[in-house]
Amino acid sequence: MSGAEAKEELGKSSGVRRKETGQSQVYTATRDTLFPKKSTHTRTHALSLAWVFGKNPALPAFSLQDHDQLVVLYSGANVGVIYNHTTNSQHILQGHCCNISSMCVSEDRRWIASADTSTTVMIWDSYSGIPVQTLFDCHPEGGVTAMAFSRDTKHLVTLGAEEVQRVCIWDWTKGTDKPLWFIELSPIHGFQDYIIFNPNDSAQLLSNSKSKVLFYSAKGSLQYFALTIKEYSPDASQTGTMAGGSLSVFHLRERQTLTATGAGCLVVWDVTKDLAANPKPPRQRINLIHLQNDPITALTVTDSCVVTGDTGGHIKFYDEELLLLFRYSELNLDAITYISFSKECAEGYLEDYTLEAKPLLIRNFVVSTCSTVVHVNTQKGIPQILLQKGSEPILAVACHPKQPVVAMGNQRGVLKVWNYDNKAVLCSRVFETEEQIQCVTFDPQGVYLAVGFGSGAVHILNPSTLQSDPEECFHFTEDSIHHITFSSDSKYLATADAGKAVTVCRLQSNGGSLPCWAYMGRHRSHYKPIKDLLFGVHLDSTQPRLLSLGLDRRLVEYDLENSDLNKLLILNSERIEQSAVPMSMTWCPPLTTEQFLLVASDQYKMKLFHSTTKMCRKTLLGPTYGSPIEKAVVLPMCKEPETNSYYLAYITEDKVGLQIMPLDGNPYKSNAVVCHPTGVSTFACSYDGRFVFTAGTSDWTVLSWEISLNALEAAAALGGRDMMPFYTLLEGGRDGKFYREMENFFYYCQVRHQGTDTMEKRQLSTKIPLSEVPSLMRALAYFPTEQEIKDMHNEVKFSKYAETGKYVTDIDLEEFIKLYVNHRPALGISSNELVQAFHILGHRDDTGQAVLHKHELLKLLQTRGEHMTEEEVAECFTTLLCISEEEKEGEAGQGGEESDHDSHESDIGNSEYSLACAIPDEISMEIFTGHMGFASSAEQSGRSSPPE
């Protein structure tokens, strides 16, 4: 089946969209469809991937077009990128949830296959950018490590990365979810990491590991035969082993297979003719040819030439007899990893290299190395750099406060400044004495660019030239710099390092000389790592203030006003969480007359703390997209029409998202997408609020996301108005059983507050007093701590104080529902959490089960966390164990007549005796959740999962 036949087949069977003419977009697409001269995009998503900076160095680049336009294909993170170098534009292939592990293109460059590290393979039309086929669960135990199209494009072979590898051949145009053939490979052959079809016979394939080549025959059934290089080599020490990668190919004309080795040799296997009949050919059909001294790292064939790339960056062309025709030795490249030839070709002559001029098909090609992608025009002999990527993960990203400029720093000490409007590098610098750029930031005026390094050094640079004065390079600690920030007036610079310390410098003017940075001091203000560092401004003045937030749950404010040179003072230090761990903080925008600090925690909560008193004034349900918020920033006000609100941009472990403000716990006001499946290291927002830039922890890429606030608002409107979004967070919704129970408990609280024994006419209302809120929460299987009860009371009590100057003392049902869904545990209490607690607090008995001794449990309740008194412990266990008054009286009656005083003491003693008898000596997980009545808190959540 040719490429045209594959297109015809897909035009009939694929589910892609059709125009009014009845023809599919795939069928009618041409090479110019993907990159039209004029294009207008209407953003339908809140976050749309606009540009990919960087490339996955483990995968090569492929040439797609090389005639009117120069177009190449490569991957970055979990997306494929079709890059048009002529117009400096990208079309991004989005569809994978995990990082792409393998890619290949068809012979005619029309079809693209991509596979990720999970189980998904997608086939794309390179002319339209539309996915035409998806294969799920291809290799569920390890993902795909290599794949290839047959020359007629009809079949696709995938090679799995399982412990016992599988090879599957798919007829991908038929839409089937089962392979035509598959076979498992014995682990004794090594890990196979490369596979191709025979271009002359699609029933033959080969793959290789570092020591063995496997030949496959797919006639009737799929079989394979293994050959070892050393077994056929007259001098095994001379041959060495293969370096891995694309180092075995089929000869285009002869029935031979070529295998390159790490010693610059080429093994010629004459085995493809009768492979099935003779799986172990005689030695005379194996030839070993020493081609060159440099180890061969890439091998391919094109037309009538065999082409090699080596560790010296040289590319050599050989004829069918393996005689050298010509070479490219002045490209100034490092080790070649892949060579991809253009589909287009021209006829030329090699008069300088042969005695007799012979016509030769000449194709341009794209060369991939670990650090560069280069295009070579064979007629002009001119190399052109297409991509110059960093070879290390990018951990630092910052946006200029007034210009469309973004700075990126990687672990090799390479700093680049890009103009993200025209996608051009403005300047770059390689720090020779420093490595591991950990963080970068611009000052609010854009005058300085501060860079923090893993060595503890800090450099203050000119953003335009990236040069610095030697006196503006500080090294006050040996610990890695994790956070760096300027004050709003650009007069203070603060850093937080891995030593759990904060360092502050101040810009000072000495007479008529230029201002310089003076060291104010370094304070080890936390006993666990610092998660965030933030400057602000005092409400009653323009003086800057500095706060740090640590994993020790402490919020520390520094006394900048009274601090002096070499004397950094702390103003106050507050513990702001009990069990949750704070992850990030930012200043709330001026939505009210009060100033609040927004803190996100690892329990999917966001809290508003008063900037002066540090009192928790509001607790809100945060985005629940698999992992909690790790960093959040309020977007600058955008000029987009019909948007008057503030918005919050945030990242989680692997996602980037937007949140509409003010925060209220409505899950539909938040939107997030997967950006870096292996982890996000940091992110930054553009000065105009149009873009968010995310950096991957280990995928070598920075992604630019275009923001559409109208799309975000439209998606939020679909969730409903007023209380509708909150009803969906209750199990069964507004019409469910849980809501009816909540309503009954709510009105029972009114009865309880007025007295259950009164015979007077009751005054029903729509509100209950704040004093009843804790009891109502417990009735709904949420058991708040005393601190959480205090936070709830303060939240309601001060909710209208700034506007009216009065306290709120009661709450209605709708307000209570919001309070309930925002304060309860976001994901409930799972049995795994209880098991973990038993393993931490208890010990193992003879059966290996984690248990707690009775006296240990009672001691923990009275000495750890919020201490309980003996009376509170007795009251709780009496209720949980259902110890009735009759039991107490029966035990008391056995002692005969007693005085009132003796009776009172006896009651206490008998109560303790009843508890002692009722509580087992050893308490296991099963006893705790079953016999002692704690199952409801772990199993009854009364919730539906928040929408994702």
Tens digits of residue pLDDT in 481-526: 999 999 999 999 999 999 999 999 999 887 667 788 999 999 999 9
Element (H, E) at 534: strand 530-537
Q: What pLDDT band is residue 82 in, cutting at 50, 70 and 90?
A: very high
Residue at token pair 């004495």 = 433
H or E segment to which residue 885 belongs? helix 885-893
- Report pLDDT for 236: 44
Residue 4 has pLDDT above 70, yes or no: no
> Long-range contacts for 563-569 (Cβ within 8 Å, ≥24 apart)?
563/504, 563/520, 563/521, 564/520, 565/518, 565/519, 565/520, 565/521, 566/519, 566/520, 566/521, 567/520, 567/521, 568/502, 568/503, 568/504, 568/520, 568/521, 568/522, 568/523
Neighbour-count burial of 102, counting CB atoms closer than 10 A to its CB (0-12 exposed, 13-18 middle, 19+ buried)? buried
Pair of tokens at residue 313: 């960056």
Q: What's the average model confidence in pLDDT over 175-196?
A: 90
Q: Is residue 449 within 8 Å of 440, Cβ to Cβ? A: yes
Rounded Cα distance, 35 and 86, in Å: 10
Tell which wins on pLDDT, 244 or 385: 385
More confident residue, 252 or 671: 671
The upper half-sphere exposure of residue 556, i.e. CA atoms within 13 Å in the direction of its Cβ, equals 27
The confidence score (pLDDT) of residue 238 equals 44
* Beta bridge partners of residue 125, listed in sequence order: 111
CA distance linking residue 612 with residue 596, whole number of Å = 9
877 vs 891, more confident: 877
Q: Six-digit token pair at 346?
A: 């021209």
pLDDT range class, residue 361, cuts 50, 70, 90 = low
Q: At 912, is the pLDDT very low, low, confident or very high (cuts 50, 70, 90)?
A: low
| 355 pLDDT higher than 70 | no
- Distance between the two ends of the chain, CA-based, in angstroms? 42
Query: Does the pLDDT value for residue 937 go beyond 80?
Result: no
pLDDT tens digit sequence for 485-496: 999 999 999 999
pLDDT averaged over every residue in the chain: 85
Q: Which whole number is the average pLDDT over 663-684?
A: 95
pLDDT tens-digit readout, 835-857: 888 888 888 887 888 888 888 88
Residue 33 pLDDT: 85
pLDDT above 80 for 760: no
Q: If you search the block for the tokens 């770059």, which residue do you land on?
A: 428
Question: What integer is the mean pLDDT of 397-413?
Answer: 94
Nearest to 249 by CA among 259, 236, 263: 259
Q: Long-range pairs for 727-730 at CB < 8 Å and ≥24 separation?
A: 727/817, 728/667, 728/944, 728/947, 729/621, 729/667, 729/821, 729/943, 729/944, 729/946, 730/817, 730/821, 730/942, 730/943, 730/944
Dist. CA 396–CA 437, nearest whole Å: 7
* pLDDT above 70 coverage of the chain, percent: 85
Cβ atoms of 135 and 147 closer than 8 Å:
no
DSSP 8-class letter at 411: T
CB 92: neighbour CB atoms within 10 A?
17
Q: Could you give the 3-state DSSP secondary structure of residue 84?
A: strand
| Amino acid letter, residue 458 | V
Short-list 719, 709, 582, CA closest to 664? 719
**Up-side HSE of residue 708: CA atoms within 13 Å toward CB?**
16
Of residues 741 and 888, the one with the higher pLDDT is 741
Peptide bond into 662 cis (omega under 30): yes
Cα–chain center distance at 733:
32
Top pLDDT among 751 and 641 is at 751
Per-residue model confidence (pLDDT) at position 133: 93
Bridging pattern class, strands 516-523 and 530-537: unpaired
Token representation of residue 275? 């492979």
pLDDT score recorded for residue 492: 95
Please give the helix or strand (H or E) that residue 768 lies within, else none: strand 767-769
CA distance 142 to 119: 8
The tokens describing 552, both together, are 């020790």
580-611: per-residue pLDDT in tens? Answer: 999 999 999 988 889 999 999 999 999 999 99
- Nearest Cα to Cα of residue 150 among 258, 278, 250, 242: 250
Q: Which residue has the higher pLDDT, 226 or 9?
A: 226
Which pLDDT value is given to residue 872? 85
Q: What is the pLDDT of residue 40?
A: 63
Q: What is the reported pLDDT for 20?
A: 45
When pLDDT is averaged across residues 253-259 and rounded to a whole number, the result is 82
Q: Which residue has the higher pLDDT, 29 or 692?
A: 692
